Chain A
């Protein structure tokens, strides 16, 4: 069955430190992969996406992610975290052919210490 796992439910980092949020997926074909961010009580905003091609993708707000097929991973990284990055982060895989359905991970809550 298709699935997405985000192993870390909650991560705390100091402002200015680097960040890596983990995402592992299970999907038979070449996956379409996404990272979304959600502030409390708000909708989801796309950070970045991978469909094909270069396995290192750049997104908004200084985020990047690397697709590693051999590890079934799509980890999100940022070299220097800002206090405004505190939010919940969701990894998702596109499922069901061209239906556009998404399967989400459980989410990782990021807390930033001053």
Chain B
């Protein structure tokens, strides 16, 4: 079945550590996105990529980094510079046509311990 797979489902980070969240899609979508969800704030865009080897900052990119070396994969690294990383992270992908919707993965919950 086609879809978006995020891993791991739960992730714990120690202070000062970098961690990487995985996002893989087999929908043959060109565009991929990372959103952060905090209670009562909806979803906010971290980074997005419309094509391989290219990506753009979203509204809250500070303390995060991404790469897009393959069409299927868009990993997100939460660096030690992100001061409040505890949140639910959602990856999404979308086809080229403007009249299509984004499809979301099941999310990764990151907790700082």
Interfacial residues, chain A to chain B (CB-CB below 8 A): 4, 9, 32, 34, 36, 41-46, 49, 51, 90, 92, 98-102, 104-107
Contact = CB atoms under 8 A, between A and B. Distances in A.
Interface in B83-104: 88, 90, 92, 94, 98-99, 101-104
B40 A106 contact: yes
Contacts of A36: 104
B74 interface: no
Nearest to B43: A104
Interface size class of B (residues with CB under 8 A): 20 to 34
Contacts of B58: 101
B101 A104 contact: no
A99 B49 CA distance: 9
Nearest to A95: B45
B31 A43 contact: no
Interface of B: 4, 6, 31, 33, 35, 40-45, 48, 50, 56, 58, 88, 90, 92, 94, 98-99, 101-107, 109
Q: DSSP class of B's interface residues: helix, strand, loop or mixed?
A: strand
Contacts of A100: 31, 33, 48, 50, 94, 102
A101 B48 contact: yes
B31 A104 contact: no
B98 A41 contact: no
